[in-house]
Structure 1
Amino acid sequence: MSNNGIEIHKITQAVLYLDGKSMLGKAETVDLPELKFMFEEFKALGMIGEIELPTNAVDKLEGKIKMNSLYGDVARQLTPFRYKQIQARSSVSVHNSMGRASELPLVTFMTVAVKNMPLGKFGDKKNVDFEYDLTCIYVKQVLDGVDIVEYDAMANIFKIGGEDMLADYRSNVM
């Protein structure tokens, strides 16, 4: 039986680590930052259309962590004045026509600071959750030991698949 080259990846869980310590059972959800590339509109005489061109810039990175309760050991570490290392570790199930073929590790490394300090929202017989807004200055995602993306706002590093997207830019301006 042939699998026709079809391969499906599925990610359903993750465990967060704060400065290397597991937050298993504490975090309910995490919204990882999204790299948004900045483009600028371009038009010129003789061109019948307008286009957008990349500007060698990335918009600010933001994310969220929703905790399922107040955990003092976590809350005391989160401050807008100190960046923290957070890891999201997950497993990618790879499926083909014969079933699950393998599972691959997916790790996202982030350097973040919190933008708020939630104190809780209480309701009758309802669990109180705590949602932290994050600002992120560094992110790196690795699938099965291979770099997917790395971005460091403070060091002008931006790589996709290990290829330095800003090498020429840095050599021209620095």
Structure 2
Amino acid sequence: MGLPRKLKNCNAFADGMSYLGVIGEFEEPKLAIATDDWRGGGMIGPVKIDNGLEAMQAVLTMGGHEVALIRKFGATSADGVRIRLVGAYQADDGSAAQAVEIYIGGRFSEIDPGKSKPGDSTEHKYTVPLAYYRRVVDGIDEVEIDMIAGVFIVDGVDRYGEIMAILTN
């Protein structure tokens, strides 16, 4: 029997600037394989055919007005906004904390400043469609996806390497 690792605390960095105490929430991208049904002659039912990856998107929620992030809106490069998120996960069973780092590259497609009222908390949400995603756990790369460069590595296995080798030779 065990206990789940829960996020104990987190921080975000953009252009080397720390948002410790400012980052409120981070929604990681869903990782999904794009598929189509295929049923050929002689098959008794369809199978899902791998067509690459679905688009990825992350959402950051900051605890207020951050002009440095607002100034990144309209970046012309698909991966023009680079953000590093760091989380400390720990189970309440006495085990050591686990470091999880998320590296994302994209551009803000939407900045939602929400409602502002004197004396109330404010939150700004930044929606980031991603061109790049990397997840590192305790210093080990678990997943790296670079949509533009054709990189799709999971647990050290380059899932797209054979295809990219054909395309680049």
Q: TM-score range by the shorter chain?
A: 0.7 to 0.9
| Structure 2 residue identity aligned to 1:43 | R
Pair 8,151 (structure 1): closer, same or farther in 2 beyond 3 Å: same
In the other structure, the counterpart of 1:38 is 34
TM-score by length of 2: 0.86
Q: Runs of 4+ in structure 1 displaced over 6 angstroms?
A: none
Pair 123,108 (structure 1): closer, same or farther in 2 beyond 3 Å: same
In the other structure, the counterpart of 2:44 is 48
In the other structure, the counterpart of 2:146 is 152
| Structure 2 residue identity aligned to 1:75 | I
- Superposed, 1:129-144 pairs within 5 Å as 129-144=123-138
Q: Which runs of 5+ in 1 are unaligned?
A: none
Instruction: Give the 3-state SS of the residue equivalent to 1:35 in structure 2.
Output: coil
Could you tell which deviates more after superposition, 121-130 or 57-66?
Answer: 121-130
1:102 CA displacement: 1.1
Structure 2 distance, partners of 1:125, 1:49, is: 60
Structure 2 distance, partners of 1:8, 1:64, is: 24
| Structure 1 residue identity aligned to 2:50 | P
Structure 2 distance, partners of 1:117, 1:144, is: 31
Pair 100,78 (structure 1): closer, same or farther in 2 beyond 3 Å: farther
1:172 CA displacement: 2.4
Could you tell which deviates more after superposition, 122-131 or 65-74?
Answer: 122-131
Q: Deviations over 1:77-135 (max 9, x none)?
A: 3433251210110112145xxx3121121111111210123344235753332111111
Identity, % of aligned pairs?
A: 18
Instruction: Give the 3-state SS of the residue equivalent to 1:100 in structure 2.
Output: coil
